[in-house]
Homo-oligomer: A and B are copies of this chain.
Amino acid sequence: MPELRKDPITGRWVIIATDRAKRPSDFVRDKVQIRGTSFCPFCYGNESKTPPEIMAYRSDGSARNTPGWTLRVVANKFPALGIEGSLNRQGEGLYDRMNGIGAHEVIIETPEHGQTLATLPPRRVEDVLWAYRDRMVDLKKDPRFRYMLIFKNHGEAAGASLEHTHSQLIALPVVPKSVLEEVGGAKEYYGFKERCVFCDSIRQELETRTRVVAENDLFIALSPFAPRFPFEMWIAPKRHVSSFEESQKNDFEQLAPILKDMLQRLDKVLEYPAFNYLIHTSPVQEAINDYYHWHLEIIPKLTKVAGFEWGTGFYINPTPPEESTKFLREAAVTTPAT
């Protein structure tokens, strides 16, 4: 009998197929391979082919927009939103529109074309996290922005148009719907219990341990109770932290290795799948609070979203999280984090 499970934060139901659970080998898909065959604007020497750099980490004193960087942030050449101008909110009969104001930046995580976050040294992954934080802190100063989303599309099937490993940041003039749903659900729970729903959930996971993939002193990596997608994973701080940008040095020192570890496990279990990840953090205007808890969601691209999902907003997940947890646990690659 399939099972309906309710996400404790948003109230979204998912259908978990328990009878014929799909194993990793059941998912037909293309392996993400780095071919390096075409021109890459993110490699050394091609700095002039991207918009000018917004920020870079350089330890060798090299000049802006030249090689020598270890991480580089530039504006997206084909931005989804424009940085200049005002919102100019307008009505059109019963419709509402405004200018698509926002920032759209690309974090080029390494100059090395053949690397991924799963293969970079943890210290370099830490730099990526610092870059996320630095850019968020800077963009928060712009009063037009209500939310900053960090995300990563890895592999063509997951929407990546360039194979050189990179993340993206989009600053938005409105709080996105998914975040409003999570924040709303978390507030409601807090109003009822005076506890953070994420903290309660993490506490329960640490007790039952059927969905914990790995942990270290500060972070937990788990399969959520009601995941939309097979092998979906979340990484969250164990203690209550509402915003990603509050993270400090010791946080990133522990987040970097667990993130790298999870991506290595994914590569091992699912043979280099395409995936997305994204960071959900509190909206700018309520950055520090007792109800919301930042986390990173990893979504391997294994299934197709079809008519049922578009029509309902529900998801059919053919792999129970308890099963995916087992596979991911067994795939500990180097020194396991648990």
Contact = CB atoms under 8 A, between A and B. Distances in A.
B153 A80 contact: no
A244 to B, nearest CB: 12
Interface string A87-119: 000001111111110000000000000000000
Nearest to A174: B13
Nearest to A207: B93
Given A15-B100, A94-B200, 19 more contacts: A2-B82, A3-B98, A4-B98, A4-B100, A5-B96, A6-B95, A93-B208, A94-B197, A94-B204, A95-B225, A147-B312, A151-B310, A152-B307, A157-B304, A170-B308, A179-B313, A278-B310, A279-B311, A305-B305
Interface of A: 1-6, 8, 11-13, 15-17, 20, 78-82, 85, 92-100, 147, 149, 151-153, 157-160, 168, 170, 172-174, 176-179, 181, 197, 200-201, 204, 208, 225-226, 276-280, 297, 299, 304-308, 310-314, 316
A88 B17 CA distance: 16
A168 to B, nearest CB: 7
Contacts of A178: 310-313
Given A12-B177, A15-B80, A226-B95, A276 B197 contact: no
A178 B313 CA distance: 5
B177 A276 contact: no
Nearest to A208: B93
B308 A151 contact: yes
Specify how many copies of this chain sit in the oligomer. Answer: 2
Contacts of A17: 80
A66 B317 CA distance: 34
Contacts of A307: 151-153, 158-159, 168, 276-278, 299
A149 B15 CA distance: 15
A79 B305 CA distance: 16
A141 to B, nearest CB: 21
A177 B312 contact: yes
Given A2-B82, A158-B306, A149 B97 contact: no
B312 A179 contact: yes
Nearest to A19: B82
Given A17-B80, A80-B316, A178-B313, A304 B5 contact: no
15 contacts: A2-B79, A4-B174, A5-B96, A13-B174, A15-B100, A94-B201, A159-B307, A160-B306, A172-B314, A178-B310, A178-B313, A181-B313, A276-B306, A276-B310, A278-B307
